[in-house]
Copies of this chain bind each other. A is one copy, B any other.
Amino acid sequence: MNESPRIAIVMGSDSDLPIMQAAVDVLKELEIPSYVDIVSAHRTPARLYEFAASAETDGFDVIIAGAGGAAHLPGMIAAISSLPVIGVPISATKMAGEDALLSIVQMPAGVPVACVAIDNGRNAGILAAQILGTADPEVRKRIGAFKQAMAETVRQKAEKLKR
């Protein structure tokens, strides 16, 4: 796990960390290192531009971006970089994440963002791993085992319920 991270996880504010930590954690479970940073589209636009423009040469292959409210971070990274961008809508306002969901998912033709469920940092991490897995049989094997473990947990809970 001392290789340089291929997955960058960025968020608009440190208040988003509890949600985005779940992406870091599931990637750790899958033995995949990740880089974490705070990059605000609205408060640090220059920093956003630099980060996105150099992400490819910095060695990243997938970018995970979480943001709430108007949530421009994932879409702007996708506008600047050619890498696949995964967006996590965060329920940071009274609109319970619906604003962030629409801001992230409704991207115009030509510039996709891969949107996951509201507040679901964990799924962003798994999706990033699946993307690496398309060219890495070892990662793909781990994801397969991860899915089996998940199924096994449900089975055990079902057994427990019946007793």
Contacts and interface: CB of A to CB of B under 8 A. Distances in A.
Contacts of A17: 161
A96 B155 CA distance: 27
A7 to B, nearest CB: 10
Interface residues of A, number: 89
A107 B154 contact: no
Nearest to A109: B122
A104 B157 contact: no
Interface of A: 12-14, 17, 22, 36-47, 49, 56, 61-62, 68-72, 75-76, 78-80, 82-84, 86, 91, 93-99, 101-120, 122-124, 126-127, 130-136, 140, 143-144, 147, 150-151, 153-155, 157-158, 160-162
